[in-house]
Structure 1
Amino acid sequence: MYRLLADATAGVHFLFVAYLVVGGFLACRWRWTIWTHVVAVVWGFSTVLFGFVCPLTELENWSRRRAGEAGLPPSGFIDHYITGVLYPRSALELVRVLVMLVVLTSWVLYLRFYRHQRVPSVQ
């Protein structure tokens, strides 16, 4: 049961990371989600900038240890599952910059889309 919880937690963590990257584009379709995306971005980048430990990482570690497995390394979820797997470790800083550019691009599109909708038509 603990192994299932650990695997489910890792799955949710992957979904969170994916949402952090593309959630701004989803907000162009579902306007109200921009606030959840802002919170996700602030949290995600805070873990990088300030070294906060993500509660999902803690839950996965706890579950894996209860299941008799090793937890994640101290470097965390991203380092264990993504860095070195989806991109080379040497590209970490580039990937961080690219993620931030994708997020900022999505926010600019969101603002342009909704600003354009609010402008009254001139007749």
Structure 2
Amino acid sequence: MNYSLFADIILLVHFAIVLFVVGGLLLIVLGNVMSWPWVNTTWFRALHLLAILIVVAESLLGIECPLTTLENWLRIQAGQGVYQGSFIQFWVHQVMFYSAPGWVFATVYAAFAALVVAAWWRWPPRRSGA
């Protein structure tokens, strides 16, 4: 098995989820300003809200993200250190992971979740075709 390749794939999936959470809110706001109806579909908004609520819950409960855990396990299986490896791993880690106390992340995640909820209230989701 190519554990290193699988670890890179998990890292990219993790990064895509981060982009969905952050970019999703930007799309919701911009989409409503630009009158893009798809940004208010129930499925998109529900997935977006669920994603940030999972991040907040993990942070408040002190749980490491399962994707981080899996990536680290795969890197160990590949004989790599947890923060060493491929070009992809190095740069995506530089963007995604910062060193700060846990309460800082919990506060930032909760504030971001509050913005998502505010967007939900300001521009409520609509059923597809509505």
What TM-score bracket applies, with the shorter chain setting the length?
0.5 to 0.7
In structure 2, the partner of 1:71 is 82
Pick closer, same or farther for the CA change 1:21–1:96 going to 2, 3 Å. Answer: farther
Distance 1:98 1:57 in 2: 19
Q: CA deviation at 1:68?
A: 0.7
Distance 2:95 2:123 in 1: 37
Q: CA deviation at 1:30?
A: 4.6
Q: Can you give the 5+ residue segments of structure 1 that lack an aligned partner in the other structure?
A: 73-77, 118-123
The letter of the residue matching 1:39 is: L
- Kept in 2, the 8 Å contact 1:24–1:107? The answer is no
RMSD: 3.3
TM normalised by structure 1 equals 0.63
Distance 1:99 1:54 in 2: 13
With a CA cutoff of 8 Å and minimum separation of 6, indicate the structure with the bigger relative contact order.
2
Q: CA deviation at 1:103?
A: 4.2
Q: CA deviation at 1:80?
A: 9.4
In percent, how many aligned pairs have the same letter? 27
The letter of the residue matching 1:105 is: L
TM normalised by structure 2 equals 0.60
- Kept in 1, the 8 Å contact 2:11–2:71? The answer is yes
The correspondence of residues 10-25 of structure 1 with structure 2, limited to 5 A, is: 10-25=11-26
**Does 2:61 align with 1:50?**
yes
Pick closer, same or farther for the CA change 1:108–1:80 going to 2, 3 Å. Answer: closer
Distance 1:68 1:60 in 2: 12
Distance 2:79 2:118 in 1: 46
Q: CA deviation at 1:61?
A: 1.4
Distance 2:115 2:59 in 1: 20
Distance 1:51 1:38 in 2: 20
- Kept in 2, the 8 Å contact 1:6–1:61? The answer is yes
The letter of the residue matching 1:111 is: W
